[in-house]
Amino acid sequence: MSIMYSCSVPSFTSISVSNFTYRRPHRIICSAGAPVAERKAVNTTEPLLLNAVRGEDVERPPVWLMRQAGRYMKSYQTLCEKHPSFRERSENVDLVVEISLQPWKVFKPDGVILFSDILTPLPGMNIPFDIVKGKGPIIFDPISTAAQVDQVREFTPEEWVPYVGEALSILRKEVNNEAAVLGFVGAPFTLASYVVEGGSSKNFTKIKTLAFSQPKVLHALLEKFTTSMAKYIKYQADNGAQAVQIFDSWATELSPADFEEFSLPYLKAIVDSVKETHPDLPLILYASGSGGLLERLALTGVDVVSLDWTVDMAEGRKRLGSEIAVQGNVDPGVLFGSKEFISKRIIDTVKKAGNKKHILNLGHGIKVGTPEENVAHFFEVAKGLSY
Ligand code: CP3
């Protein structure tokens, strides 16, 4: 069924969508020309984000932004001066809670994501790393042999990252169901890419050397990450995470056939394992530049596919169908534009996503240097929307 949407606003505002102007603090109403599916009653005791993912009838899309805690925020910069080490900031309960709550206090997003990193579990798997300002992640002993893979340990979260569980449970109390507390993990292929490349990579030649000359070695590493990340997701859920996002940021460096060999089966194994013990925990999957892989991302069995901005939201929605929820997908670069432009892009994305099963977000993380007031504007407009 094709859906016709029109956005209108109460007559007392000056907002028009075709020729957009925005005046605070009026509400923008987006109405569906035809209903998508039978309306379900809203569960008002649960965070909006969870209701939206379950396909309930919500009044607007929930909104949170990837990397909403970070260097673009003045409060984070101040904290970095006192605590210059990323590992300290992300491995100390009080700091993790404080940083996770910085965007919550200022913007009141519908999702509060744990401040951590996809690489945080690595030392617990016997893979030491650091994150150095200006250089990014550094893996001290990059993996390239079967003997090194043998040395990789299975992750026991309660032993290695107890601060994650503690921080999540404190966040649940602080946020008090006014927003969903979100956990996250790195996907096996993306973690392997850091561990094999030794850090961030442009060409991914080392992991491709391994994949295409010693695939068994890479598969053995991917298997270890799969077991460990399934465990880690369950640990986060047991300690308070109400939804968990899986970042397979670099899976799209693989051709579709190679994605089917080196990423998809592992993602699916994680989803299957988590669904067995935590059937109601929403899982969100993000891959950057995922246009060529969208349908394959849905095959993993996740509840939400997070689209990057190179996919048109209406086309993405059509390709994925109405059963699965979508997240995204405003270009993070839009936050460098004018306020009017930001508003226009938000409304465009929301109209294209339809009035169900959409979490409004960016297509990737907020960039360093993004004006904080533009992030505030993004949340203000998003929270003023009404279907
Ligand atoms: O979304 C959030 O607000 C939660 C915080 C979060 C961080 N990393 C904090 C962080 C999340 C969700 C991540 C995930 C992560 N880490 C991913 C997947 C998301 C994506 O971007 O695709 C990846 C690929 C990493 C690996 C990583 N960690 C990179 C590439 C960098 C940037 C290096 C740099 O110097 O800029 C990091 C460090 C990092 N993790 C920062 C933050 C806020 C920046 C460093 C800092 O603040 O000191």
Q: Which atom of ligand 1 is nearest to the CA of 76?
A: 47
User: 248: Cβ below 6 Å to ligand 1?
Assistant: no
Q: How many residues are given for the chain?
A: 387
CA distance 258 to 251: 9
From the CA of 134, give the closest atom in ligand 1: 35
Cβ atoms of 210 and 217 closer than 8 Å: yes
Q: How far is CA 295 from the centre of its chain?
A: 18
Please give the sequence-ordered ranges of beta strands (E in DSSP) within 80-220, or none if there are none: 111-113, 129-132, 136-139, 180-186
Question: pLDDT at position 40, please?
Answer: 59
User: Which of 63, 64, 67, 90 has the most ligand 1 atoms within 8 A of CB, as the residue to mutate?
Assistant: 67
- The pLDDT score that the predictor gives to residue 66 is 97
Ligand 1 mean position to 119 CA, how many Å?
A: 9
For residue 118, give the nearest of 280, 273, 252, 286 by alpha carbon: 286
Fill in the amino acid letter for 384.
G
Ligand 1 atom at minimum distance from 184 CA: 12
CB of 87 shorter than 6 A to ligand 1: no
* Residue type present at position 106: V
For tokens 């299975």, name the residue.
Answer: 154
Query: Which residue type is seen at 70?
Result: G
Give the list of residues 6+ apart from residue 95 with CB closer than 8 angstroms, or none.
79, 83, 88, 89, 115
Q: What is the pLDDT of residue 10?
A: 36
CA distance 364 to 345: 15
Mean pLDDT by 10 residues, the chain (387 residues): 40 34 53 47 84 97 97 96 97 98 98 98 98 94 98 98 98 98 98 98 97 98 98 98 97 96 98 98 96 96 97 98 97 98 98 98 97 98 97
pTM above 0.75, yes or no: yes
CA–CA separation, 242 and 250 (whole Å)? 25
User: Is residue 250 in contact with ligand 1, taking CB distance under 6 Å?
Assistant: no
**What is the widest separation between alpha-carbon atoms in the chain?**
70
